[in-house]
Amino acid sequence: MQSAPTSSSGSAVKTSSTTPLGGGGSNDSTATKRSTRVRPGDFIFRGLSTGSAVLIMVILAGVALFLIISAIPAITADWSTNSQLNTGPTAAFPNFWAYVGPLIWGTLWSAAIALLFGAPIGIGIALFISHYAPRRLASILGYLVDLLAAVPSIVFGLWGIIVIRPFLLPLSDWLSANLGWIPLFGGPVTTTGSTILAGALVLAVMILPIITSISREIFLQTPRLNEEAALALGATRWEMIRLAVFPYAKSGIVSATLLGLGRALGETMAIALIISPAILVSVRLITEGQNSQTIAANIALNFPIATTLQRDALIGTGLMLFVISLAVNSIARLIVNGKRGKRKKGKDKPSTPGPLSTLPSGDFASATAIDVVAGTPRIGVSDIEGPTPEEDIEGARY
Amino acid sequence: MLLIGFTVVGWLVLTAVVYLIALGILSVVVENRRKATDRLVRGLVTVAFLLALIPLVSTLATVIAQGASQISWSYITSVGASTFDPNTLTVTQTPGALQAIVGTLIITGIAALISVPIGLFTSIYLVEYALPKQWLARTVTFLVDVMTGIPSIVAGLFAFSLFSIIVGPKAFSGFSASVALSVLMIPTVVRACEEMLRLVPGDLREASLALGVSKFATIVKIVLPTAIAGLITGIMLAVARIIGETAPIFLAASFTDNFNANPFEGPMQTLPVLAYTGYAFPGKDIAASNASAWGAALLLVILVVILNLIARIVAKIFAPKGMR
Amino acid sequence: MSKRIEVNDLNVYYSDFLAVEGVSITIEPRTVTAFIGPSGCGKSTFLRTLNRMHEVIPGAHVKGEVLIDGNNLYDPGVDPVLVRRQVGMVFQRANPFPTMSIRDNVLAGLKLNNRRLSKADGDDLVEKGLRGANLWNEVKDRLSLPGGGLSGGQQQRLCIARAITVSPDVLLMDEPCSALDPISTLAIEDLITELKEDYTIVIVTHNMQQASRVSDRTAFFNIAGTGKPGKLIEYNDTTSIFGSPTMKETEDYVSGRFG
């Protein structure tokens, strides 16, 4: 070892006489000797925190478990002979799967249409706020879009009834008259406007905020240098976005869209209030009474009038919805996390959170709450590359 | 009014389309294709943004226009009911939302009481205690993310199943609805609080630990007070989000015309459910039911606005720099 | 209350990564010892092992001993919280608690540990701490204002006042002046010279003039390359390190040929 521990000769003052400073000198050398007593505060607090984290897993498992327990009687019953199930809303179906199949179709179909409108607009808004709007306006504009998330879904439902339904009537008439030969626009045209098109349009409005807030977050994380490099090469703003922003944000856009899909799948009230449904597989957009019904709306409409076993059947359909949206959300989150993992690979950082770990879940709460802690900088937005290995050693804190 | 609304919106859309096409053609002629594409995209994203403002403005305008006439002191302070007069065989409906207001406040309050401690402690676990690579932390983070995507109606079904298995049939209660809302609220609270706690500079934790302060005291006396504004704001916004949930309350607490302030017994009316049933299951007097629904919707929007305002004000008052 | 620090063959790890290797050093009481060296050489990491602050980073641990007046900080029964009350620390960036007044910041170490203080005792301690940090005259009229309102240099001295109010035996300073202007730096350097009467002081600095101005002894750390562990190269009286270093690497560094 090449260090040269000094001869302690004549260098330091050897006095160890005590010169206590002030009245607070309760520490003495025995303090370090005292054995690590478990501090009760620390112990309880750590226990509560860890316990809460575990409780979240228990809750999620509980949700699945209780749905399964409640649904089993209806799933296993023979619907054609069961006296509770061969009447009323469940009368026409031989078994649970025949009942839930069209509902799953309706759920996916309405969500897909909503996504068709919502995703491009949501991503466009995000692009507008992150790369086109004046810097000073950007946060206000973002706040406006987040306001959409604050409006209760039931209000959107009511709004859909009296505004969107009549608004789409002329369009429906025109589509039916001119494009009626396309199956999408086939069937008797609506007179009230209670179409799946109207429902999906309201859904699209409702999923805008989540798509926008997540895409915006990702767009803002594009490495500034890449953007400037593209502009320096003479690219127009759009070419810069295509060359520097989109490749970087691709997976983020995909997962934002999937999260929007997840929300559209589970939305109840807008559909329940607007659409005049039937439990069947149909692609028709502008009829009434022949629209595919969604799982959530079907539950909301039939739950109050259902018998016990019919309720179990509805819970069974809810279980299917739970499984589907769980799958969609998991895939979306895994894409985000996978991206984070890839970018972090090869760096053994002790802890600094990656840029995507502060990704808001797209709700109003987290999207706006960020702005309010005064005087503290955003973590991670500009810190794409993370600390250099050197800083890792000296500068890694938490 | 609707016709005017349609023509205004129609005109807006038409103008935008014409503007975009004109812009594109002009740009191709005057500049070149690349510039034209650039301008077209700029126009498109601007239109996308303006398009999103239409539903926002339209929704708020509609709910105010429809609900304002309904809301009065007596609507807020009286219990809505329909009375059947056996002599004339008519049903008279008394508009009123008192039972719904009380129910909403009770159910949301209990849900917050359940969710805030669990959510806050979980976020403390994730930020202060968990090691980043620990499986529990990663699993919980993932599950919280996934939980934010649980359809609200599924939460309602869960609470209903839970209570019908424990309590038996006719398990509708306000508390059951609170449990359903908690399932939806916990992940929101965790995410908001986690974000706020991560904003507290590590420097402060180090300063405290270096003074020989235990981790517990550091969290309680340094980290939480520094983040308090953000925490309260996040929690208020989480409350504002679940207060408008309809489907889970509808399934778990059902609906009723009776005044019920006991969350552990019997169905409970709430504002969102009043708004829903007013249209989905109207009484004899359909117009009155619909009007009542709009009144409830406007009250709900007002509540949400108030909660958002409180959140903003709290953020201002408790902002760290301004303390003392 | 000044104490001697003795480090025997200490290795510092972040998880599996060896950050600092084989440091042995003896720091005498009532001296100022400066750690110098290029960025990333592990001097701050090593400093943080002297009051077990490095442990707050997940996965960080050490092998070896650190003795303070003969007691090993890393004995299994030792509570790191109590260690930190004995060995105070001042950080690179001034970090007064934003939610507290100047007065509360000075008393933070005591109040956060639930020490009950009478108003008079508190006043005495605040005055003593602030006088000790040469800050009393500047802030005595605004003790109830937030600490964040002070200038950078004043904030750093507030942090020193906060650190010495818990009456530690040793004071560690991690580049305390690197974010300050020259005048504030001078104020802190004067303060260090005064504080040495009562404390064992260890200071990490990038500024070699500063090291030569304030310290009695100097330790030079270096690193062979990225990914290699930092090592203690030479430790001697400050005048020797800067005047007649024995190691070639030290000479290169202090004469400005690298780093």
**pLDDT score, position B319:** 66
Q: In this complex, do C112 and B211 lie within 8 Å of one another by their Cβ atoms? A: yes
- pLDDT at A395 > cutoff 70: no
Average pLDDT over residues B104-131: 93
Q: In this complex, do B152 and A268 lie within 8 Å of one another by their Cβ atoms? A: yes
Residue by residue, DSSP assigns A45-109 as HHHHHHHHHHHHHHHHHHHHHHHHHHHHHHHHS-TTT-TTTSSGGGTT-SSHHHHHHHHHHHHHH
Q: pLDDT grade, residue A357 (50/70/90)?
A: very low
- Return the SS3 of A189: coil
Cβ distance B179 to B255 under 8 Å?
A: no
Q: pLDDT grade, residue A364 (50/70/90)?
A: very low
Q: pLDDT grade, residue B81 (50/70/90)?
A: confident
A41 touches chain C (CB under 8 A): no
Q: In this complex, do A151 and B304 lie within 8 Å of one another by their Cβ atoms? A: yes
Chain A hits for B122, CB-CB cut-off 8 Å, are: 49, 52-53, 55-56
- Please name which of B107, B121, B306 lies closest in space to residue B231, comparing C-alpha atoms: B121
CB-nearest to A42 from B153, B195, B216 is B216
User: Count of A–B CB contacts within 8 Å?
Assistant: 368
- pLDDT at A19 > cutoff 60: no
CA nearest to A26 within chain C: C167
Q: pLDDT over 90 for what percent of chain B? A: 38
CA distance B203 to B226: 12
Average pLDDT over residues B76-81: 80
CA distance B55 to B58: 5
- Please name which of B34, B217, A279 lies closest in space to residue C85, comparing C-alpha atoms: B217
Quote the pTM value: 0.82
CA distance A228 to A206: 35
CA nearest to B273 within chain A: A154
C81 touches chain B (CB under 8 A): yes
A305 touches chain B (CB under 8 A): no
Chain C residues 11-50 with a CB less than 8 Å from chain A: 14-15, 17, 19, 22-26, 28-31, 39-40, 42, 44-45
CB-nearest to A5 from C76, C115, C235 is C235
**pLDDT score, position B70:** 85
Chain A hits for B47, CB-CB cut-off 8 Å, are: 124
Break chain A into its structural domains and give their ranges: 64-343, 362-397
Distances (CA, A) of A129 to A121, A123, A126, B48: 12, 10, 5, 11
**pLDDT score, position B29:** 74
- pLDDT at A219 > cutoff 70: yes
Number of helices and strands in chain C (H, E): 10, 10
- Top residue of A6, A15, A398 to mutate, by most chain C CBs within 10 Å, is A6
Chain B residues 183-202 with a CB less than 8 Å from chain A: 183, 186-188, 190-192, 195-196, 198-202
Q: What is the ipTM of this complex?
A: 0.89
- pLDDT at A26 > cutoff 80: no
CA distance B302 to A203: 22
CB-nearest to A32 from C4, C60, C82 is C82
- Return the SS3 of A256: helix
Q: In this complex, do B205 and C85 lie within 8 Å of one another by their Cβ atoms? A: no
C224 touches chain A (CB under 8 A): no
B95: left (phi over 0), alpha (psi -120 to 50) or beta: beta
**pLDDT score, position A325:** 92
List the chains bordering chain C where 3 or more Cβ pairs fall under 8 Å: A, B
A7 touches chain C (CB under 8 A): no
Please name the residues in contact with A26: beta carbons below 8 A apart, sequence gap of 6 or more: none
Task: Name the one residue in this structure whose structure tokens are 């191709």.
Answer: B28
Q: In this complex, do A156 and B59 lie within 8 Å of one another by their Cβ atoms? A: yes
Residue by residue, DSSP assigns B241-272 as HHHT--HHHHHHT---SS----TTSS----HH
Chain C hits for B207, CB-CB cut-off 8 Å, are: 91, 95-97, 159, 162
C15: left (phi over 0), alpha (psi -120 to 50) or beta: left
- Top residue of B135, B138, B203, B211 to mutate, by most chain C CBs within 10 Å, is B211
C151 touches chain A (CB under 8 A): no
- pLDDT at A193 > cutoff 50: yes
**pLDDT score, position B184:** 94
Q: Where in chain B is the domain with CATH 1.10.3720.10?
A: 94-318
- pLDDT at B6 > cutoff 70: no
Average pLDDT over residues A287-291: 81
User: Count of B–C CB contacts within 8 Å?
Assistant: 89
Give pLDDT tens digits for B114-125.
999 999 999 999
CA nearest to C83 within chain B: B212
CA distance C210 to C225: 26
Q: In this complex, do A150 and B304 lie within 8 Å of one another by their Cβ atoms? A: yes
- Please name which of A249, A253, A296, A256 lies closest in space to residue A273, comparing C-alpha atoms: A296
Residue type, B315: A
**pLDDT score, position B161:** 92
Q: pLDDT over 70 for what percent of chain B? A: 94
Smallest CA–CA distance, residue C59 to chain A, in Å, is: 7
User: What CATH fold (topology level) applies to the domain A64-343?
Assistant: MetI-like fold (1.10.3720)
**pLDDT score, position A53:** 93
Give pLDDT tens digits for B264-286.
888 898 999 999 988 888 877 78
CA distance B110 to B236: 14
Give pLDDT tens digits for A94-146.
888 999 999 999 999 999 999 999 999 999 999 998 888 888 888 788 888 88
**pLDDT score, position A386:** 35
Which residue(s) pair with C222 in the sheet?
C231
Which residue(s) pair with A70 in the sheet?
none
Chain B hits for A149, CB-CB cut-off 8 Å, are: 241
**pLDDT score, position A376:** 35
- Please name which of B121, B268, B109 lies closest in space to residue B178, comparing C-alpha atoms: B109
B242: left (phi over 0), alpha (psi -120 to 50) or beta: alpha
Q: pLDDT grade, residue A308 (50/70/90)?
A: confident
Chain C hits for A393, CB-CB cut-off 8 Å, are: 14, 19, 40, 42, 45, 230
Chain A residues 187-246 with a CB less than 8 Å from chain B: 205, 208, 212, 236-239, 241
CA distance B29 to B11: 27
CB-nearest to B211 from C98, C108, C148 is C108
Distances (CA, A) of A194 to A172, A173, A245, A320, B290: 11, 13, 40, 26, 17
Q: In this complex, do C31 and A37 lie within 8 Å of one another by their Cβ atoms? A: no
Cβ distance A373 to B320 under 8 Å?
A: yes
Mean pLDDT in chain B? 85
Residue by residue, DSSP assigns A339-379 as HHHHHHTT---SSPPPGGGG---SSHHHHHHGGGSTT-PPS
Chain B hits for A148, CB-CB cut-off 8 Å, are: 52, 55-56
Average pLDDT over residues B97-125: 94
- pLDDT at A29 > cutoff 90: no
Main-chain dihedrals φ then ψ at residue A193, nearest 5 degrees: 90, 5
Pairing of strands C200-204, C32-36: parallel
List the structure tokens of A323. 């499984």
Higher pLDDT, A385 or A328: A328
Cβ distance C152 to C188 under 8 Å?
A: no
Q: pLDDT grade, residue A353 (50/70/90)?
A: very low
The order of strands in the sheet holding C60-68 is: C71-72, C60-68, C5-14, C17-27, C230-237, C217-223, C32-36, C200-204, C170-174, C87-90
- pLDDT at B74 > cutoff 50: yes
Mean pLDDT in chain C? 89
Is 1.10.3720.10 the CATH classification of the domain at B94-318? Answer: yes
Residue by residue, DSSP assigns B122-183 as HHHIIIII--TT-HHHHHHHHHHHHHTTS-HHHHHHHHHHHHHHHT-SS---HHHHHHHHHH
List the chains bordering chain A where 3 or more Cβ pairs fall under 8 Å: B, C
**pLDDT score, position A155:** 93
Chain C residues 165-194 with a CB less than 8 Å from chain B: 166
